[in-house]
Chain A
């Protein structure tokens, strides 16, 4: 059974700092991995999707990497802003189903 863990569970940083969120999964046989953000009481917004054959994806200040063999992915956020405050979830797909990580709640302090 696939298990997805995210560390840290919560993170508080001052504005402008670069930060890294971690995601680890137990079964490396995945189809893709996707990072989402979730604002309180809201749905999920897709940030980046990495196919199993890819090593990283970039979008603006965000960079996600994937090391399938070690079962790890990182989400790098450069020059953090208060608007980045949210819960970040990673999700892996071995097939049709998706397994979500436990989430990292990020607070960026102005």
Chain B
């Protein structure tokens, strides 16, 4: 099946620093990728939709200057948490949509971000 690689799997950083998370579709091209955030014991919340070659579409309440998304190629989307603060600590997951007859979503393994 299609594979989505997300890196890093875990990152610990100091408050005020920026963290970049990469999401790659390894064996398929993804014109659209999605970024989710998951709080402990909660379901996934869509943060933004990343479209290759254009600006990302952010969900209501998500600060686009805080969470920078770049989708520079058909296989790579990045999420940068800028000037991270402890409240940004969370589990972030990306997914890529495989275009085709069934349009499944495939997910990365997630990134646990801890901001000290």
> Across the interface, do A34 and B105 meet the contact criterion of CB distance under 8 Å?
yes
* Least Cβ–Cβ distance between B90 and chain A, in angstroms: 12
B contact residues, total (Cβ < 8 Å): 25
* Least Cβ–Cβ distance between A40 and chain B, in angstroms: 10
- B54 interface hit (Cβ, 8 Å): no
Query: Contacts A32-B103, A43-B93, A46-B105; is A98 near B110 (CB within 8 Å)?
Result: no
CB-CB < 8 A to B103: which residues of A? 31-32, 93
Q: Determine the distance from Cα of A91 to Cα of B105 in the docked complex, in whole angstroms.
A: 10
* Least Cβ–Cβ distance between A55 and chain B, in angstroms: 15
Interface residues of A in 22-64 (CB under 8 A from B): 31-32, 34, 36, 41-46, 49, 51
Interface residues of B in 60-116 (CB under 8 A from A): 91, 93, 95, 97, 102-110, 112
> Across the interface, do A41 and B112 meet the contact criterion of CB distance under 8 Å?
yes
Q: Determine the distance from Cα of A49 to Cα of B107 in the docked complex, in whole angstroms.
A: 14
Q: Determine the distance from Cα of A91 to Cα of B93 in the docked complex, in whole angstroms.
A: 15
- Identify the closest chain B residue to A41 (Cβ): B112
- Identify the closest chain A residue to B2 (Cβ): A46
Query: Which of A46, A51, A102 is B107 in contact with, Cβ under 8 Å?
Result: A46
Q: Determine the distance from Cα of A106 to Cα of B2 in the docked complex, in whole angstroms.
A: 26
- Identify the closest chain B residue to A36 (Cβ): B107
Name the residue in B1, B43, B112 with the highest tally of chain A Cβ atoms < 10 Å from its Cβ: B43
- B13 interface hit (Cβ, 8 Å): no
Query: Which of A41, A96, A100 is B49 in contact with, Cβ under 8 Å?
Result: A96
Binding site for A on B (CB under 8 A): 1, 6, 32, 34, 36, 42-46, 49, 91, 93, 95, 97, 102-110, 112
| Interface CB pairs A-B, < 8 A, 11 | A31-B103, A32-B102, A36-B107, A41-B91, A41-B110, A42-B109, A93-B105, A96-B32, A97-B46, A100-B36, A100-B44
Binding site for B on A (CB under 8 A): 31-32, 34, 36, 41-46, 49, 51, 89, 91, 93, 96-103
